[in-house]
Amino acid sequence: MTAPLSTARGGALAILDPDETDLLHTLDHIFTSWGTGAGAREILPPPVYPLGDLEKFDVYENFPQLQFVGGPLDVTGTPPVPVGGSFARDDTAPAILGLPHSTCYGAYLYCENRSVAPDTTLTLVNRCFRNENEYEGLRRLLSFHMREIVAVGSYEHTQDLNARFTDRIERFVKELGLDVVRRAAADPFFERDGGRALLQQLSPVKHEFQVDGLAIASVNTHRNFFGERCGITLDDTGEHAYTGCVAFGLERWLAVLGDRFAGDLPGARAAVTAADAATAP
Amino acid sequence: MTAPLSTARGGALAILDPDETDLLHTLDHIFTSWGTGAGAREILPPPVYPLGDLEKFDVYENFPQLQFVGGPLDVTGTPPVPVGGSFARDDTAPAILGLPHSTCYGAYLYCENRSVAPDTTLTLVNRCFRNENEYEGLRRLLSFHMREIVAVGSYEHTQDLNARFTDRIERFVKELGLDVVRRAAADPFFERDGGRALLQQLSPVKHEFQVDGLAIASVNTHRNFFGERCGITLDDTGEHAYTGCVAFGLERWLAVLGDRFAGDLPGARAAVTAADAATAP
* A110-143 pLDDT per residue, tens: 999 999 999 999 999 999 999 999 999 999 999 9
CA distances from A68 to A260, B48, B72 (A): 33, 11, 4
CA distances from A48 to A106, A231, A242, B12 (A): 10, 21, 25, 10
Report, as an integer, the average pLDDT of B192-207: 62
Which residue type sits at A51?
Answer: L
Query: Residue B9's pLDDT is what?
Result: 73
Q: Which residue, among B26, B43, B232, would best test binding to A if mutated, counting the most A CBs under 10 Å from its CB? A: B43
How many Å apart are CA A116 and CA A107, to the nearest integer? 12
How many Å apart are CA A48 and CA A155, to the nearest integer? 29
Where does the pLDDT of residue A193 fall: very low under 50, low under 70, confident under 90, or very high at 90 and above? Answer: low
Query: Residue B185's pLDDT is what?
Result: 85
Query: Residue A5's pLDDT is what?
Result: 47
User: Do B9 and A46 count as a contact with CB atoms less than 8 A apart?
Assistant: yes
User: Do A44 and B86 count as a contact with CB atoms less than 8 A apart?
Assistant: no
Give B275→chain A minimum CA distance, Å: 24
User: Do A85 and B55 count as a contact with CB atoms less than 8 A apart?
Assistant: yes
Query: Residue A189's pLDDT is what?
Result: 56
Query: Residue B200's pLDDT is what?
Result: 54
Where does the pLDDT of residue B5 fall: very low under 50, low under 70, confident under 90, or very high at 90 and above? Answer: very low
CA distances from A148 to A20, A45, B129 (A): 20, 12, 24
User: Is pLDDT of B136 > 50?
Assistant: yes
What are A159-177's pLDDT values in tens digits? Answer: 999 999 999 999 999 999 9
Report, as an integer, the average pLDDT of A45-73: 95
How large is the angle between the packed helices A250-260 and A18-37, nearest 10 degrees? 120
> Which residues in A lie closer than 8 A to residue B97 (C-beta atoms)?
68, 70, 142
Report, as an integer, the average pLDDT of A198-209: 72
Three-state secondary structure string covering chain A: CCCCCCEEECCCEEEECHHHHHHHHHHHHHHHHHHHHCCCEECECCCCEEHHHHHCCCHHHHCHHHCEEEEEECCCCCCCCCECCEECHHHECCECEEECCCCCHHHHHHCCCCEECCEEEEEEEEEEECCCCCCEHHHECCEEEEEEEEEEECHHHHHHHHHHHHHHHHHHHHHCCCCEEEEEECCHHHCCCHHHHHHHHHCCCEEEEEECCEEEEEEEECCCHHHHHCCCEECCCCCECEEEEEEEEHHHHHHHHHHHCCCCHHHHHHHHHHHHHHHCC
Is A142 near chain B, with CB under 8 Å?
yes
Helix (H, G, I), strand (E, B) or coil at B181: strand
User: What's the ipTM?
Assistant: 0.94
CA distances from B105 to A148, B109, B179 (A): 28, 6, 30
Helix (H) / strand (E) element for B21: namely: helix B18-37
Compare all CA atoms of chain A with the CA of B24 and give the residue at the minimum distance: A44
Query: Residue B11's pLDDT is what?
Result: 81
Is A195 near chain B, with CB under 8 Å?
no
CB pairs under 8 A between A and B: 231
Closest CA to A257 of A61, A13, A20: A20
Instruction: Give the sign of the dihedral formed by CA B116, CA B119, CA B123, CA B126.
Output: positive
Helix (H, G, I), strand (E, B) or coil at B192: coil
- The class level of CATH for B7-47+100-278 reads alpha beta
User: Do B46 and A15 count as a contact with CB atoms less than 8 A apart?
Assistant: yes
Report, as an integer, the average pLDDT of B5-10: 65
Contact A251, A24 (CB under 8 A): yes
- Rounded-to-10 torsion of CA B91, B95, B101, B107: -150
pTM score of the predicted model: 0.94
Query: Residue A1's pLDDT is what?
Result: 40
Give B276→chain A minimum CA distance, Å: 22
User: Do A143 and B60 count as a contact with CB atoms less than 8 A apart?
Assistant: no
Query: Residue B270's pLDDT is what?
Result: 98
How large is the angle between the packed helices A265-279 and A18-37, nearest 10 degrees? 10
- The class level of CATH for A7-47+100-279 reads alpha beta
User: Do B1 and A80 count as a contact with CB atoms less than 8 A apart?
Assistant: no
Compare all CA atoms of chain A with the CA of B51 and give the residue at the minimum distance: A85
Which residue type sits at A242?
Answer: Y
Compare all CA atoms of chain B with the CA of A51 and give the residue at the minimum distance: B85
Is A76 near chain B, with CB under 8 Å?
no
Query: Residue B4's pLDDT is what?
Result: 45
Which residue type sits at B125?
Answer: V
Q: Are strands B115-116 and B233-234 parallel, antiparallel or unpaired?
A: parallel
Domain boundaries, chain B: 7-47+100-278, 49-99
Q: Are strands A214-221 and A242-249 parallel, antiparallel or unpaired?
A: antiparallel
> Percentage of residues in chain A with pLDDT exceeding 90?
88
Which residue type sits at B185?
Answer: A
